[in-house]
Structure 1
Amino acid sequence: MDSKHLVGRDSKREESQIEALATLPPELEEEIGKLDKDFWVSKEKLKEISERFGEELAEGLEENGKNIPMNITWVLGFPTGRENGSFLTLDLGGTNLRVCWITLKDSKRGDLDVKQHQYKLPSELKTGEAEALWNYIAEFLEKFITDLDLKGTKDDPLPLGFTFSYPATQDYIDHGILQTWTKGFDIKGVEGEDAAQQLRDAMAKKNLPIRLVALINDTTGAMIASAYHDPSTIIGAIFGTGCNAAYMEDCGSIPKVAKTAGITPDTPMAINCEYGAFDNAHRVLPLTKYDTAIDAESPRPGEQAFEKMSAGLYLGEIFRQVLVDVHSRGLIFKHQDVSKLKQPYILDTGFLSAIEDDESEKLSKTGDAFKETLNIAPTEPELEFIRRLAELIAVRGARLCVCGVAAICRKKRLSSGHVAADGSVANKHPKFKKRWAGAMAEILEWPEDREEDPIVLTSAEDGSGVGAAVIVAMTLERAKRGKMVGIKEQG
Structure 2
Amino acid sequence: MKTKNKSLFSKLCKCYSKKDIPRRCENTDTDNENEADFVENLVHPNPTTEIRDACKDLVLSDDQLQLVMQRLTDEINRGLSRETHDDAIVKCFTTYVQDLPNGTEKGNFLALDLGGTNFRVLLITLDRQNFDMKSKIYAIPQSLMLGTGTQLFDHIAQCLALFVKDLNMQHEVLPLGFTFSFPLSQHGLTKGNLVRWTKGFNCSGVIGEDVVALLEDAINRRNDVKIDVCGILNDTTGTLMSCAWKNRNCRIGLIVGTGSNACYVEKTKNVQCAIPGNYAEHKPYMLINTEWGAFGENDTLDFIITEFDRAIDENSINPSKQLFEKMISGMYMGELARLVLEKLVNAGLLFGGKFPSDLRKRGKFFTKYVSEIENDPKGRYTNCREILAELGLRNVSDQDCENVRYVCSLVSRRAAHLSSAGIAALLNKMGEDNVTVGIDGSVYRFHPHFHDLMTAKISELQSYKFDLMLSEDGSGRGAALVAAVASQKR
Q: Do both share a fold (TM > 0.5)?
A: yes
Which letter does structure 1 place at the counterpart of 2:241? I
| Correspondence for 2:29 | none
Which letter does structure 1 place at the counterpart of 2:257? G
Q: Structure 2 residue aligned with 1:97, among 119, 131, 134?
A: 119
Q: Structure 2 residue aligned with 1:55, among 56, 59, 74?
A: 74
2:213 paired with 1:202 = no
Q: 2:194·2:207 contact (CA, 8 Å) conserved in 1? A: yes
2:187 paired with 1:171 = yes
Q: Which runs of 5+ in 1 are unaligned?
A: 4-18, 447-453, 480-491
Q: Structure 1 residue aligned with 2:314, among 284, 296, 314?
A: 296
CA shift, 1:191, in A, is 0.8
Q: 2:178·2:229 contact (CA, 8 Å) conserved in 1? A: yes
CA shift, 1:330, in A, is 3.0
| Correspondence for 1:486 | none
1:427-471 deviation digits (Å, cap 9, x = unpaired): 11110111111111121147xxxxxxx211110132221111111
The structure with the greater share of residues assigned to helix is: 2
Inter-partner Cα distance in structure 2 for 1:280 and 1:234: 27
1:127-166 deviation digits (Å, cap 9, x = unpaired): 221122111111111211111111336xxx2211111001
Which letter does structure 1 place at the counterpart of 2:90? I
CA shift, 1:88, in A, is 1.1
Q: Structure 1 residue aligned with 2:238, among 207, 217, 221?
A: 221
Taking structure 1 as reference, are residues 113 and 261 closer, same or farther at Cα in structure 2, changes over 3 Å only?
A: closer
Residues 117-132 of structure 1: matches in 2 within 5 Å? 117-132=136-151
Which letter does structure 2 place at the counterpart of 1:69? K
TM-score, length of structure 2 as denominator length: 0.87
Inter-partner Cα distance in structure 1 for 2:355 and 2:423: 43
Query: When the two structures are aligned, how many residues end up with a matched partner?
Result: 447
CA shift, 1:52, in A, is 0.8
Inter-partner Cα distance in structure 2 for 1:55 and 1:209: 45
| Correspondence for 1:187 | 203
Q: 1:258·1:265 contact (CA, 8 Å) conserved in 2? A: no
Which letter does structure 2 place at the counterpart of 1:461? E
Q: Structure 2 residue aligned with 1:251, among 268, 273, 279?
A: 268
| Correspondence for 2:4 | none
Inter-partner Cα distance in structure 1 for 2:426 and 2:142: 35
The more displaced of 194-203 and 351-360 is 351-360
Inter-partner Cα distance in structure 2 for 1:348 and 1:150: 40
Query: What SS does the aligned partner of 1:170 have?
Result: strand
1:87-121 deviation digits (Å, cap 9, x = unpaired): 11111121211011110112xx2x11000101222
Q: Structure 1 residue aligned with 2:340, among 322, 338, 341?
A: 322
Q: Which runs of 5+ in 2 are unaligned?
A: 1-8, 13-39
Q: 1:422·1:459 contact (CA, 8 Å) conserved in 2? A: yes
Residues 17-32 of structure 1: matches in 2 within 5 Å? 22-23=44-45, 29-32=48-51
| Correspondence for 2:22 | none
Inter-partner Cα distance in structure 1 for 2:153 and 2:276: 35
Query: What SS does the aligned partner of 2:220 have?
Result: helix
Inter-partner Cα distance in structure 1 for 2:116 and 2:360: 23
| Correspondence for 1:305 | 323
Q: 1:251·1:258 contact (CA, 8 Å) conserved in 2? A: no
| Percent of matched pairs sharing the same residue | 35
CA shift, 1:261, in A, is 6.5
Q: 2:175·2:483 contact (CA, 8 Å) conserved in 1? A: yes
Inter-partner Cα distance in structure 2 for 1:211 and 1:278: 35
Which letter does structure 2 place at the counterpart of 1:375? G
CA shift, 1:367, in A, is 0.4
Q: Structure 2 residue aligned with 1:344, among 362, 367, 384?
A: 362
Query: What SS does the aligned partner of 1:418 have?
Result: strand
2:479 paired with 1:468 = yes
Inter-partner Cα distance in structure 1 for 2:304 and 2:273: 32
CA shift, 1:293, in A, is 0.7
Q: 2:345·2:354 contact (CA, 8 Å) conserved in 1? A: no
2:381 paired with 1:370 = no
Query: What SS does the aligned partner of 1:248 have?
Result: strand
| Correspondence for 1:232 | 249
